[in-house]
Amino acid sequence: MVKAESRTLIRCPLPAVYTFVVDEFVRNYPRWSPEVQSLQPLTEGPLCPGWTASQVRIDQGRRTETDFRVVVLEPQRRVCFRGLRDPYAIEYRFVEQGDDTGLAFSFELARLGFALRPFEKLIRLAVQDGTERVVRNLKVLIEKEIA
């Protein structure tokens, strides 16, 4: 298993941060994660448990197509996604800190294929770098557009 988590403090109230990340997910996700080349909701309506989408990503030159589902949605607290065929999980957690918002983002890859096991250390570094980039991008976008 490969798991990484990064945190940041966003100088913006929690409801605005949550709206940017969860309520406006389809519009904003490709903005904070520019590796997303295409995002197509498979379920109509707002994010809720069971909501699904398909994405095409290019990570470090490697193109992947995955489908994912919202598995947990606790308003103003957290949202969790899980790959439908691929063994990954993603979680965003929100914590009110005065007038600001603590944001934690985690990514977990449940298993590596046999061919990738020799590269586990490099994959761990890339995953950690990716989580740090996500929280950094979210912080910059939200503080620039909302604060």
Other beta carbons within 10 angstroms of residue 13's beta carbon come to: 16
Beta strand spans in the chain (E): 2-10, 36-41, 52-59, 62-74, 78-83, 88-97, 100-109
Burial class (CB in 10 A: 0-12, 13-18, 19+), 61: exposed
Confidence of residue 147 (pLDDT cuts 50, 70, 90): low
pLDDT tens digits along 5-47: 999 999 999 999 999 999 999 999 999 999 999 999 999 999 9
Q: Please, what is the average pLDDT of the chain?
A: 89
Position 136 scores a pLDDT of 95
Position 3 scores a pLDDT of 85
Tokens of 64: 């992947």
Domains defined for the chain, CATH in brackets: 2-34+71-145 (3.30.530.20)
